[in-house]
Structure 1
Amino acid sequence: MKHTPRALILAVSALAIASGAVYAHGEKSHPAQPAVSKKEQKAWGIAGDPKAVTRTIEITMTDAMRFKPEHIDVRQGETIRFVHENAGAVMHEFVLGTRKELDEHAALMRKFPDMEHDEPYMSHVGPGKRGEVVWTFNRPGEFDFACLIPGHYEAGMVGTIRVAAR
């Protein structure tokens, strides 16, 4: 297959444009959660059905790089609606996961601070705004949540969720 310079330039340009969209993030708002969340089983549970919510937990995010509350107890099988209020002046996020996964994601965020992501276990909340995550904890254990915006995680913006077995 012969590649002409024009075809090569077009291919490289298309790739550059497409890859640039992947890293758009910054202080911009994120699109609303999709109507149907991805139902991918994770070690810490699976995206929950809003109709199945058994409890709502409000979490405040502050510019002191803290979540309130920092520790949450749930029972295996509960579907929780986390409502996040950003009481600060900068963007914050709430990301559920294991410590290992959060460490890996935080490293990627440091490398690519403008990375865009929209998973059902994440909520990006602008200053003075609210966001939410609906999650079903179908596995027992201790899991974590964090703000992975560069500098926030390192400053201690983390919390734990203990899921008690049935």
Structure 2
Amino acid sequence: MTLRNRLAFAACVLAFSVSAVASPGSHADIGQPAAAASATRTVNIEMTDLAFSPKTLEVKAGETVRFVLVNKGQLLHEFNLGDAAMHAEHQKEMLKMQQSGAMTTTGMHHAGMDHGAMGQGSMPMAGMTHDDPNSVLVEPGKTAELTWTFSGTRDLEFACNVPGHYQAGMVGTLKVAP
């Protein structure tokens, strides 16, 4: 399937998708950000257009992992740690960012944005920044890092929540083991 067809498919899936009914947890439920120097291991993740490599990961509860994210694709991608409900909620925020013009297929627009014009009245629209500690955006050809200390034992996902990407399969499994 060509990139154009995959993107068209992703857009269709997004248009017809139904929001998750579950109440999302917070990032604190899955752990907390950490300094790169405190990482006990580094995991390199390659992002291509609509795929992660590797697609599955296992970490231990209490482990601090430094993720090095390399976007080898032509599109903006996100690396976001969470469960399915968290991703469903974050996808709504990302869609608003795209619809407002704050985010394009290749990057974020920060300079010159009239945040007051995006919401109702003079209040800026919620979710216009991408500053969740469990998430990072990586522009095409760029590298970024996220260091995280995992808590609890549960099954999580790492996903790209740029509109349509998750639905097109840009999601991996992350098991947090004891």
The equivalent position to 2:131 in structure 1, one of 118, 124, 142, is 118
Query: When the two structures are superposed, what TM-score results if normalisation uses the length of structure 1?
Result: 0.71
Equivalent pairs, count:
125
Larger radius of gyration: 1
Contact 1:83 1:131 in 2 (8 A): yes
2:148 maps to 1:135: yes
Contact 1:43 1:98 in 2 (8 A): no
The equivalent position to 1:103 in structure 2, one of 88, 92, 108, is 88
Name the aligned partner's letter for residue 129 of structure 2: E
Structure 1 residue 93 displacement after superposition: 0.9
Name the aligned partner's letter for residue 105 of structure 1: H
Deviation sequence 1:106-153 (CA, Å, 0-9, x none): 123223323321122111111111001000012111111111111111
2:95 maps to 1:82: no
Identity of aligned residues (%): 44
Query: When the two structures are superposed, what TM-score results if normalisation uses the length of structure 2?
Result: 0.66
Question: Who is 1:16 aligned against?
Answer: none
2:70 maps to 1:57: no
Name the aligned partner's letter for residue 81 of structure 2: L
By relative contact order (CA 8 Å, sep 6+), the higher-ranking structure is: 2
Name the aligned partner's letter for residue 143 of structure 2: R
How far apart are the structure 2 equivalents of 1:131 and 1:59?
10
Name the aligned partner's letter for residue 139 of structure 1: G
Trace 1:9-88 onto structure 2 (pairs within 5 A): 42-63=28-49, 65-88=50-73
How far apart are the structure 1 equivalents of 2:89 and 2:132?
16
Structure 1 residue 160 displacement after superposition: 1.3
Q: Pairwise CA RMSD of aligned residues?
A: 1.5
Where does structure 2 lack aligned partners over 5 or more consecutive residues? 1-25, 103-127
- SS for the counterpart of 2:29 is coil
The equivalent position to 1:147 in structure 2, one of 147, 156, 160, is 160
